[in-house]
Every structure is written in C-alpha cells, then in structure tokens.
Structure 1
Amino acid sequence: MNTRYLEEFLVIAEELNFSVAAKRLYTTRPTLSEHLTELEDELSCKLVERGHGKPALTPPGRRFLNTASELLAQWDDIVSEYRNLADNLLTVTVSATNLPWLEAPLLRARHRIAEKWPEGKIDIVTDNGPLATVDALGERRNDIVVVGCKSFSEAGRRLLTEEHPGFVLNTETTHLFMSEDNPLFEREPLITADLDGAVLLLPPDVYQSYERDKVTDRFEANGARVALKTMPFRDHSEYFAHDFGCAIGVAPGTLVPRFGLDRRPGLRLFDLDDMDFSTDFIAVFRDEFVESPHGRVLFDEMKAAVAQGEPGA
C-alpha cells in the first residue's frame, strides 16, 4: 500500500473537495482521483462517494479514517527506527550447535546492553549447520563459535593467546555413553583400559578438536587404543538419535539434560574412574567483529557476565 495514497485520502476526507485537496497536495485533480481509485481497488471497497454533488465518505470510508491515521503513524515510527539502524544495529551469527554454551551469556549481555544503549538493536541469527569450528570464523560464516579443548591439552591456551579474541565460558565434564548393544553396558565401574579397541563416534564439529587434542594418545597412555570416527550429522539431535551399536559416544554435561540422555532407556552415561575427561568451552570471536565498535561492546559485556558468574551466564 502506497503511504502517499493514505495521506491523500486523509486530505480528501477533510476537505471533501477534490480541487481544494489537490491544491493542498500540490497535485492535479485527475491524479488525486486516480490514486483514490487505486486505493479503493486495493481495499475492494469504495471510500468516497463521487457523484454529481459534493463528495462524501462512505461508511467504509469513515471507518478507514482511523485505520489510515494509525497506519501512517506506524509507518513514521518504522522509518525513524530504520534510519537509525545503520549506526545502532548489530547482527550476531552463531551456529545452532553452539547455542547451549552461548545462549545464556549472549542473552544476558544483550539485556545489559539494552539498559545502557536503549536505541541499539541486537539481532541473533542462527545457522543450522554444524559450523562450530574456528574455520567458520575465517569463512565469515559465524561471528562467534564455541571451541571445546580438553583440559589436558595446551590447545585452549594457544587458541586464546595466538589466534583469535575470546575467553573461557566454562569447564565441564564430557561424559561418555553407550547403548545396550555394547558388551560393556553392564560392567561397573569402568576404567580406560576397558575401552581398548573401542570406536569413539563423534559429531563432525568436534572431530577435529579430538584429533588436535591428541585424545587417542591420552587413552593409550591410560591403557586403551581407541579409534576416532565421525559421520555427517547435521546437528546434536541427529547425533544423539543415531544407533551407536558398539561404538562409544560423547556428551558434554550441558547437553545431557537438554537431550534427556540421563533418562533415555537403553542408554548408559558413564565416566572413567581413572581419566579426567573435562572440557574447557571457549567462546572465540571473529577478529573483524570484535574490532567493530558494537561488536566490542558485546564481547566485553559477555566476558564480564561470565567473569562475574551472573545467573544464567
């Protein structure tokens, strides 16, 4: 709907004289009449009775007076908002698979920023693909990714000191799990050596990190030779719904309640008594994103929320 036509209709309704209305609007009477006809055609109803006498509003025309006024007021607000967006809009792209770790600090930071910067708008856009690796930053696919680094690896410290801006979100235990098809399902307790010859089936977004952290070497040092394997799972839901057979899966603590893994029949979560399998989850940001003024504000607020241990962060 052309807002100009709404403005013209309001003037016509006020004057009830096409010549006077056309003069006020700096247009011609035929043009004004043509625009009114187009508006009426769009609404499929007659707004102004144009017979041989003085024009008059029809019942729908009288009703449309308030509607047209409200629409124009809304449009003025929209125009004002979008004129300011160039300097006040920050779009943040994250992978959906990263949200379990980013969701709380990201939303908390957005809330804190809204209190300090009322005119600002932060849009969080999620990509449903498993683009949760540092490579996604270089490809400009995501602005923030969460990288898991095993606590026994130096990779996390190198990542933060040598590659990209970021900070540790939290450290949590990564549990292992198996289905009832695994011959170890009933064995209690389990130590690393019990997994000798096992296959660790991993989501594709963590497979590289397990290789980087030399997880197989860690297992071997504790008495088990294991193999790492992955498949093209689209997301966490597809991964946890997979038939693992005799393979071993991995489940960070954050995802256990999220996917009900501790309540799923035929599935056993377990930890190894003789090996710490905790993971540092690190929020890593695209360089250009943090270098932008608004991106830096979000980075600082997220980091502050995590450092202060605020609820949900």
Structure 2
Amino acid sequence: MISLVQLECFIAVAEELHFGAAATRLKMTQPPLSRQIQQLERELSTRLFDRTSRRVALTQAGRALLPNARRLIDLAAKAVSDVRSVGEGAAGTVTIAYTAMAGQAVVPDLLRRASAELPGVTLLLRELVSLDQVEELEKGTVDIGLMRPLLARPQISSRAVYRERLAVALPSDSALAQRAEPVKLIDLKDESLLMYSPSGARYFHDLLLSMFVASGVHPHIVQYAGQVPALLAMVSAGIGFTLVPQSAERISPDTVTLLPISEADPSSRVNSVELDIAWNSESHNPLVERLLNLIDDVDHDG
C-alpha cells in the first residue's frame, strides 16, 4: 500500500531531480530515500524516474503522478490541521436551540460575535420550545439550548443568561391601552386572558398563575398557546390580553400595546422572567464551553 512517506519522498526527488539534494531536504540519508522510491515503484508496477550516473528525470508515469501526489499530501495536511482545530475548539459545528424570544433577544448578537471571534465554527440553529430542547440535549442532537428554567435533569447543566420583567400586552384600541400607564393585575380581572399552554410553555403558565394568585385575581382564560408570537397575534385580533417579556416589544405589531406592570402590584415580587443556557454535561464537543462563554457576553434586551 502506498504511504504518505513514499509520496513525500517522491515529490522531493521529482522537484530536486537529485537524490542527494532530496535527501538533504528531507533530513535523511540517501539509501533510505532510494528504498522508499523503489517500494513506491513496486506498488505502482512502473518506473517513476529514469536514472543515470549523471542525471535523474521523471518518466511519463512520474509526471502523471506528481500533481496527484501533491494534492494527496495537501489533503493529508489539511485533514490533520482540521482535526487539531476541532480538538482545540477552534473549528467545528455547534447546534444551538432557542425559544422564539431568545431568537430575538440573544441569537442576533451571538451570530455576530461568533462570526468575528470563532470564524472556523459553524452554528446550526433550531427554534424549539424549552421542553423539546431538553429532550434534544439529552439525545445529543442539540449542543446548547437557550430556554426557560425547567425541572432538573441528571445530564443537563444550566445557568441564567439574564432576567427581565413581564409586561401586559393589550389590543391598542382597548381602554386600558389608551391609559398608557403602568397596570395592576386587578385592573384586568374582567378581561379575557390568553394563557400559556401548561404542556408547551409550563414555565410561563406557572409564573402567570403565581402572579394572578399574588394579586388576588381569578383570570378568565379564553385561549392557550405555547409561544409568545402566537399570543401576540391573538391579542392583535382583539381576543384578549396576555403577559409577555418586555423584550417582546420588538416583535409586537402596531395593533398591540405593551404596558409595564405597576411596581405597587402584589405580583411585583414574583414578576421576573429568566432565560437560561443549558447543555449536556456529558457532551464531548470541545466547542460547547467556548460558545457558553460567548453567550454569557452577548448583548440582549432583557
């Protein structure tokens, strides 16, 4: 079988057209160099050089082999370089999952920073609800998740990226929206609530319930949805109101008004939304730690 050493020896002799000069270039003596060439010729069943006492010249077969040998050596060198880069966390692929709101607040700046600071890294992005992210992290099909806090899982590690407060999203033509001032949840006791799904958005569902309980309000729930954009669309249609992260203002249509919840409202003490980064603690992807540190530093609107 042809070896890379044989090809390197062949290239050196082909370029120097002198066994002594080629041996010096390769930092070896001439006899082992000659043996490598002879072995290569046996493997190929043809002569690669015409040798006389005064000159060395490539045969037609040798001329045909030379460009291919160079390409093979270059490919081998690139393979070694690529593998080392991946092992050192300088190149490779990372799959990042994110919620709809994280896609607005974190992902854009993350992409800009990764492009500038980790040019050899390819980011594959997937929009998934938090529960689906955890399942993909456990299976190893996602490397990093940008999600809402969930119950602890043995394989999954996480930490907070940022926190923000919830705001009330109202149809812009509603009486409350016209007031353009902080709202107390008691002001919404007779309004229709668009609620987060208890299965698809458990974190938000439980948070809203705790806020209404703290305010002594029993909301009239008329519809459920699992993502902020879907709830905003229903608010825009005049179906009711909901509570969304303040950063949702950037994706709210003109027909929706976001008002802050009054600091005097009893729910204020629990009005805090957290976004976490999560990863599989058993991951062998050397790039995960570098991306985690990069995410910690990104700008967001939380």
TM-score norm. by structure 2 comes to 0.57
Counterpart residue number, 1:39: none
Counterpart residue number, 1:302: 294
Distance 1:125 1:79, change over 3 A: farther
Distance 1:292 1:228, change over 3 A: farther
Structure 1 position 210 matched with structure 2 position 207: no
Secondary structure of 2:205 counterpart: helix
Give distance in 2, aligned partners of 1:23 and 1:136. Answer: 53
CA deviation digits over 1:125-180, x for unaligned, max 9? Answer: 0124546643342244422222335xxxxx6xx759x7732222111122221214
1:204 Cα offset (Å): 8.7
Give distance in 1, aligned partners of 2:97 and 2:173. Answer: 32
Counterpart residue number, 2:94: 92
TM-score norm. by structure 1 comes to 0.55
Give distance in 1, aligned partners of 2:125 and 2:199. Answer: 16
Secondary structure of 1:25 counterpart: helix
CA deviation digits over 1:171-218, x for unaligned, max 9? Answer: 1122221214656443564211122253234479962112344x3133
Q: Is the 8 A contact 1:101 1:146 kept in 2?
A: no
Give distance in 2, aligned partners of 1:90 and 1:105. Answer: 16
Distance 1:167 1:176, change over 3 A: same
The alignment of Structure 1 onto Structure 2 pairs a total of residues equal to 225
Give distance in 2, aligned partners of 1:249 and 1:79. Answer: 59
User: How well do the aligned residues superpose, as a CA RMSD in angstroms?
Assistant: 4.2
Counterpart residue number, 1:24: 63
Give distance in 2, aligned partners of 1:124 and 1:302. Answer: 13
Amino acid at match of 1:216: L
Structure 1 position 127 matched with structure 2 position 129: no
Q: Is the 8 A contact 2:166 2:261 kept in 1?
A: no
Amino acid at match of 1:284: A
Q: Is the 8 A contact 2:201 2:226 kept in 1?
A: no
Identity of aligned residues (%): 15
Give distance in 2, aligned partners of 1:77 and 1:200. Answer: 61
Amino acid at match of 1:166: S
Counterpart residue number, 1:249: 242
1:270 is aligned, of 251, 259, 280, to 259
Q: Is the 8 A contact 1:130 1:205 kept in 2?
A: no
Q: Is the 8 A contact 1:196 1:223 kept in 2?
A: no
Give distance in 2, aligned partners of 1:204 and 1:240. Answer: 18
- Runs of 5+ consecutive residues of structure 2 not aligned to the other structure: 1-58
CA deviation digits over 1:55-88, x for unaligned, max 9? Answer: xxxxxxxxxxxxx9xxx98x98777545543441
Structure 1 position 195 matched with structure 2 position 195: no
